[in-house]
Structure 1
Amino acid sequence: MANSPSKHLPQSFFARPAEVVAPELIGCLLVKRQADGELVWGVIVETEAYSQEEPACHGYRRRTPSNETLFGEPGRFYVYVSYGIHHCVNVVTHRAEWANGVLLRAVAFPGEPERLAAGPALLARCFGIDRSHDAQLVHPDQGLWIAPRPPALAALDAADLMQTSRIGISQGQDLPWRWYWRASRSVSRRVRGDRPPAQESWIVSGLVADP
């Protein structure tokens, strides 16, 4: 995969409510530096927001050792294990002492087969993210970060996104706190009736050559 910029989103970007941050993360790049220095990166195409006042949030009932990171300062990764098997990658948002975060649900890899990371578990697997990354700062110095939208995606706005209810949860399904990029074929699950595009046209526009 092509190299990604070393720029990163500042902590102030994450110091806002999850439902504000989540749609703005779409089009940004999740980047990981491998042990050999290679940069693996992909475009975030689907996110979900969670907040302490609603029942689907891990911090809704109480603070525990396993969800402690979610109550911490914004701009850190919160990684948990789902069903005892799958890792899920979140970014802590808003403010300390208040459980708030954004789940990264899907990433598209330009120039690679589509749907490699179409879902939280696949995303974590593709990037090799596990509990060892929990509480880690979202910063290049830590080897795992989120870069701003590249110039090729600068025109992305709300009209390009689909906002819908969250999926894979048993409570809080009424909140429309999931967003995905309609132009991507790597979304984990589309709204019924929203047909996928014929191809990842936003990749063809030049993102592969120079992110």
Structure 2
Amino acid sequence: MIGYFGKQYVPIEPDFFAPPSWMVAPRLIGCVLCMDYRGASIAMALSATEAYDQCEGAFHGVDTQFLADGHAYIHFYPRCGMWAMDFVCAPRGHGSSVLIAGGIPVAGLETMRERRKPHCRAIHDRARGYEKLIADGPCNFGEACDIQPALNGAWLFDKPFRIYRPVEPIVDILPDTRVNVSKDAHLPWRWTWRNPSVLATDA
């Protein structure tokens, strides 16, 4: 058991990602992703997620999304020129994943600021509240965490990943429709942590 911002956390279980994405996505809110990767260590509380599944029209349908639950799906956003990350859900062959759409730094803030500052003046200047901008959106999250295409298909229960869930699930969650989706846009498959009380450090 480990503590984050006054709450008790435990490692997520191997079957955490077994259900389809729309069931897993809200449960990921408030979970903490830790990464020891390419010489740096960071921790990020997940504050926004979106579900994608083969049963609806916005699903990418690439091979990695059809892996067994518990793998990383890394994909490129041409619009911003950055990489984003999904967590694959459901049994092999189903086709279901959760887009990590936002996060809040918990540890390694300066490392993440260095990665993000070339693309955001407020982060570069440490403007008031800049911590909330570090990983606001899937591409910013990817850049802050140094997500690379080499991680595509990686097992989430092995290095460089460690994921912890709160013993008491986060309930202060806002459901909404997904962002920049034209197909099946009515589905309320986006979840956001309303008022996270997360303090970032450089530990």
Post-superposition Cα deviations, 1:71-113, rounded to whole Å, max 9, x if no partner, equal 0100000011122722110000011111101000000014752
Higher alpha-carbon deviation: 113-122 or 78-87:
78-87
CA distance in 1, matches of 2:96, 2:133: 27
1:156 to 146, 167, 170: 170
Secondary structure of the 2:16 match is helix
Post-superposition Cα deviations, 1:130-151, rounded to whole Å, max 9, x if no partner, equal 2110000002x321232222x6
Secondary structure of the 1:124 match is helix
1:183 aligned to 2:195?
yes
Change (3 A) 1:14 1:203: same
Larger relative contact order, structure 1 or 2 (CA cutoff 8 Å, min sep 6):
2
1:117 aligned to 2:119?
no
- Greater than 4 Å deviation, 4+ residue runs: 3-7, 207-210
CA distance in 2, matches of 1:82, 1:208: 29
Which residue does the alignment assign to 2:154?
136
CA distance in 2, matches of 1:169, 1:35: 33
Gaps of 5+ in 1: 60-66, 185-201
CA distance in 1, matches of 2:59, 2:96: 8
> Counterparts of 1:88-127 in structure 2 under 5 Å?
88-110=84-106, 112=109, 113-127=131-145
CA distance in 1, matches of 2:198, 2:83: 27
Post-superposition Cα deviations, 1:165-187, rounded to whole Å, max 9, x if no partner, equal 10111211110000001104xxx
1:78 aligned to 2:84?
no
**Distance apart, 1:156 and its partner CA:** 2.0
Secondary structure of the 1:32 match is strand
- TM-score normalised by length of structure 1: 0.75
Count of residues in correspondence between the two structures: 175
1:26 aligned to 2:32?
no
2:181 to 138, 159, 169: 169
1:47 to 49, 52, 60: 49
CA distance in 1, matches of 2:137, 2:151: 18
Residue type matched to 1:39 in 2? Answer: S
8 Å Cα contact 2:69-2:89 kept in structure 1: yes
Which residue does the alignment assign to 1:192?
none
Residue type matched to 1:9 in 2? Answer: I
Q: Between the two proteins, what is the percent identity of the paired residues?
A: 25
- TM-score normalised by length of structure 2: 0.78
> Counterparts of 1:197-208 in structure 2 under 5 Å?
202-203=197-198
CA distance in 2, matches of 1:124, 1:178: 18
